Amino acid sequence: MFGRIFKWSGGGASDGPPGNFRVLIIGKTGCGKTTILEKFCGAKIADAPSEKRGLHNIEKELVAVNNKGFIAHDSRGFEAGTDAEFKRVTSFLKKRETMTDLLQKIHIIWYCIQADCRPIQQAEIKFFAKRFIPVVVIVTKFDCLVQDYMPDDEDVSGPDPYEEATDKATENFHEYYEKPLKAMPEPPDFVIKLSKGSFRFNRMFNPY
């Protein structure tokens, strides 16, 4: 089942697996969840992940306009100092796991962290202390992290500054995101980085 989930890359209603592919996407507002969902399924999401407090409902199905086989559920991420969303997510996953209809189960979790926002925090430590279904951590907006390492215009000289900035950002990704996550008691199955305009789910999510 794990292999089948990752091998499917979306791109149209006729390309999906039999029945539904159901994902829980976790991440704070502005981290790029809508872009990830739409790029993966190859279609617009009828109702994008909620952006306002008070309107969020993890049970609500987000369905691709032209790909009814793709269904997402949205969690707005975990805030420091509160367990409310963490409890909501774990309760939701437990309920879905007990469902007898395989198409109603959550098949995979996409846990989104914005690269230019913060390193690993207490929320990740708590989340990856438990074992859930397959989890992919997506470090989004890697291009913003690269930009942080770009020199000022007047300082540009020598080797390609973009290449150097990319190398430094990649080191940052490995040191402050990938390594700590892989060292968790129950680490994610994959940790990947995504930049705006360079989206390669086929290559990144296929374990074979």
Q: What CATH number is attached to the domain comprising 180?
A: 3.40.50
CA distance 191 to 182: 8
Residues in the chain: 208
Provide mean pLDDT across the span 51-63: 73
- Provide the domain limits for residue 172: 2-205
Instruction: With beta carbons less than 8 A apart as the criterion, state whether 73 and 20 touch.
Output: no
Question: Which residue has 């700590």 as its token pair?
Answer: 180
CA distance 170 to 89: 30
Which has the closest alpha carbon to 60: 35, 88, 36?
Answer: 88
User: 3-26, pLDDT tens digit by residue?
Assistant: 443 444 343 333 444 467 899 999
Contacts of 28 (CB under 8 A, 6+ apart): 76, 77, 112, 114, 117
- 56 by DSSP, 3-state: which? coil
Query: What is the value of pTM for the model shown?
Result: 0.81
Residue-level pLDDT at 34: 86
Q: What is the total count of domains within the chain? A: 1
CA distance 143 to 191: 16
CA distance 72 to 56: 13
> Looking at per-residue confidence, does 126 or 69 come out higher?
126
Other Cβ atoms less than 10 A from the Cβ of 193: the count is 23
Query: Residue 111: in which H helix or E strand, if any?
Result: strand 108-114
Token pair recorded at residue 51: 């952006």
CA distance 12 to 41: 7
User: 139-169, pLDDT tens digit by residue?
Assistant: 999 998 999 988 876 556 667 888 999 999 9
